[in-house]
């Protein structure tokens, strides 16, 4: 089944609802995280890549603010000066407010949004919306800003304005990703390295939706903060959990009660796995990368306790049927599993994994493959051909 591209959809929606073509059309990808889970708010490294599914924002000037999404087709009037609404439009008003504080002001805008990115599947649909909207608004205002600033504005919009307790991984990779690359982002010092990722990643959606605004993610963040405080009480000088050396772990674990010792173990070992994964990517050693993914999943399951039965079944089946490795990606408690599968076995492994899942849960998972895609970018709109750079 071929679907209309989200660029075409957003452009037509804009035209239908607002009566003329958009001035700016921007798309931003979702992301999968290869490894480095729950490390970004602990000062550690992450290794995500942008996926081929994207969210598109078509934008034009206007008096006052209005937005429409292809999901509900209703025009929402936005009130950037009112408290954040309990709806997806909060990401837009959040971005407008942060941009104003940075001196990028507009009297108003019309925005039409379409996406082929699944919502609530741990693929960063909200960060894709925030980044695309930020870049579209900046373009509409006639400004040019760096991808780093776009990431920062989108992060502040989500974190400070909408109140999502996220780290910086998603907005950063969505703004800065390059085609064919994964991004090693050291959240501790901001260093970024693009690493080659020429192959494909398989995505198996668990069908279990999880929102960051619900309690589990926040609980883990707080547990990590308590673990840091305890470690410092025992004399360590670190200011973030990720800075603890692997050699210090056994002794600290003896002193820390559960659950904090388990959270600490996850973060410290995940930092080491992420660096090892970056080395495996550089060496094009996919079997080693696969093993690290599996170890990462085991740690999420046992130490961070953020997995779910659906993800565990997908990971186990993937490996049993021939994947190099697989793991839950994103925040967890649902969402999606990624798998690295040798090229020539992709179709068979994907079918067998899906079948195992169906036998256990009575439904087929959505399963698809993606290459590493580009970050946020301007698009040529189907109507009017107004290209922005």
Active-site positions read 170
Q: Which of residues 29-48 bind ligand GLA (CB under 6 A)?
A: 37-38, 40-41
From candidates 67, 68, 138, 166, binder to ligand GLA by CB under 6 A = 166
Nearer to ligand GLA, 69 or 171 (CB): 171
Nearer to ligand GLA, 47 or 195 (CB): 47
Indicate the pairing of strand 336-340 with strand 377-378.
Answer: unpaired
From candidates 152, 161, 170, 205, binder to ligand GLA by CB under 6 A = 170
Indicate the pairing of strand 75-78 with strand 192-196.
Answer: unpaired
Integer Cα distance of 232 and 274 in angstroms: 24
**Cis peptide bond prior to 115, omega within 30° of 0:** no
Round to the nearest angstrom and report the end-to-end CA distance of the chain: 32
Radius of gyration for the chain, computed over Cα atoms and rounded to the nearest angstrom: 21
From candidates 167, 207, 296, 365, binder to ligand GLA by CB under 6 A = 167
Instruction: Write down the least CB distance from residue 10 to ligand GLA, Å.
Output: 24
Q: Which of residues 203-222 bind ligand GLA (CB under 6 A)?
A: 212
Nearer to ligand GLA, 122 or 290 (CB): 122
Instruction: Write down the least CB distance from residue 47 to ligand GLA, Å.
Output: 11
Q: Which residues pair with 26 in a beta bridge?
A: 57, 378
Report which secondary-structure segment, H or E, holds 354: helix 346-361
Quick check: 169 binds ligand GLA (CB under 6 A)? yes
Instruction: Write down the least CB distance from residue 218 to ligand GLA, Å.
Output: 11
For residue 388, CA distances in Å to 28, 143, 327, 380 come to 15, 11, 38, 8
Nearer to ligand GLA, 94 or 139 (CB): 94
Indicate the pairing of strand 367-371 with strand 200-205.
Answer: antiparallel
**What is the DSSP code (8-state) at residue 2?**
-
Place of tokens 């996850």: 266
Instruction: Write down the least CB distance from residue 165 to ligand GLA, Å.
Output: 8
Instruction: Write down the least CB distance from residue 274 to ligand GLA, Å.
Output: 11
Q: SS3 letters for 36-74?
A: CCCCHHHCCEECEEEEEEEEEEEEEECCEEEEEECCCCC
Nearer to ligand GLA, 37 or 356 (CB): 37
CB distance 257 to 205 below 8 Å: no
Nearer to ligand GLA, 166 or 231 (CB): 166
Instruction: Write down the least CB distance from residue 296 to ligand GLA, Å.
Output: 11
Integer Cα distance of 360 and 356 in angstroms: 6
Q: How many residues bind ligand GLA (CB under 6 A)?
A: 11
Integer Cα distance of 341 and 325 in angstroms: 7
Q: Which stretch binds ligand GLA (CB under 6 A): 130-138, 163-171, 222-230, 346-354?
A: 163-171
Q: Which of residues 318-357 bind ligand GLA (CB under 6 A)?
A: 330-331
Burial tier of 157 (Cβ tally within 10 Å: 0-12, 13-18, 19+) = buried
Q: Which of residues 279-298 bind ligand GLA (CB under 6 A)?
A: none
Integer Cα distance of 144 and 167 in angstroms: 25
Nearer to ligand GLA, 72 or 160 (CB): 160
Instruction: Write down the least CB distance from residue 170 to ligand GLA, Å.
Output: 5
Place of tokens 């883990």: 220
Integer Cα distance of 232 and 327 in angstroms: 31
What's the sign of the alpha-carbon dihedral 373, 375, 376, 378?
Answer: negative
Nearer to ligand GLA, 58 or 90 (CB): 90
Instruction: Write down the least CB distance from residue 68 to ligand GLA, Å.
Output: 26
Task: Look at residue 179 and give its three-state secondary structure.
Answer: coil
**Residues within the interface to ligand GLA (CB under 6 A):** 37-38, 40-41, 166-167, 169-170, 212, 330-331
């Amino acid at each position: 089944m071929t679907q209309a591209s989200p660029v075409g959809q957003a452009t037509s929606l804009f035209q239908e609802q607002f009566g003329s073509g958009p001035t700016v059309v921007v798309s931003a990808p979702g992301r999968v995280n290869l490894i480095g889970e729950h490390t970004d708010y602990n000062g550690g490294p992450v290794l995500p890549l942008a996926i081929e599914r994207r969210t598109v924002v078509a934008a034009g000037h206007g008096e006052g603010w209005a937005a429409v999404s292809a999901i509900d087709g209703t025009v929402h009037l936005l009130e950037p000066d009112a408290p954040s609404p309990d709806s997806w439009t909060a990401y837009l008003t959040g971005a407008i407010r942060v941009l104003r504080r940075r001196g990028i002001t507009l009297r108003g805008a019309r925005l039409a949004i379409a996406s082929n990115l699944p919502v609530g599947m741990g693929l960063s649909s909200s960060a894709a919306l925030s980044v695309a909207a930020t870049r579209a608004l900046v373009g509409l205002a006639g400004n040019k800003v760096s991808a780093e600033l776009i990431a920062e504005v989108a992060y502040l919009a989500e974190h400070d304005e909408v109140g999502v307790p996220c780290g910086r991984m998603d907005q950063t990779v969505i703004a800065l990703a390059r085609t064919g690359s994964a991004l090693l982002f050291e959240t501790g010092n901001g260093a970024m390295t693009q690493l080659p990722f020429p192959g494909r990643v398989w995505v198996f959606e668990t069908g279990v939706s999880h929102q960051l605004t619900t309690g589990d993610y926040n609980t883990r963040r707080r547990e990590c903060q308590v673990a840091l405080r305890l470690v410092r009480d025992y004399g360590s000088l670190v200011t973030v959990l990720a800075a603890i050396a692997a050699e210090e772990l056994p002794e600290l674990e003896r002193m820390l009660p559960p659950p904090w010792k388990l959270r600490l173990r996850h973060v410290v070992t995940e930092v080491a796995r992420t660096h090892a994964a970056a080395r495996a990517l550089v060496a094009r050693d996919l079997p080693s990368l696969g093993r690290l993914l599996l170890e990462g999943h085991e740690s999420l399951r046992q130490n961070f306790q953020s997995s779910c039965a659906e993800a565990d079944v997908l990971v186990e089946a993937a490996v049993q049927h021939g994947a190099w490795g697989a793991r839950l990606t994103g925040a967890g408690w649902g969402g999606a599993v990624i798998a690295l599968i040798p090229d020539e076995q992709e179709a068979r492994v994907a079918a067998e994994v899906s079948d195992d899942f169906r036998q256990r849960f009575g439904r087929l998972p959505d399963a698809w493959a993606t290459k590493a895609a580009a970050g946020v970018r301007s698009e040529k709109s189907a109507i009017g051909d107004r290209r922005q750079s």
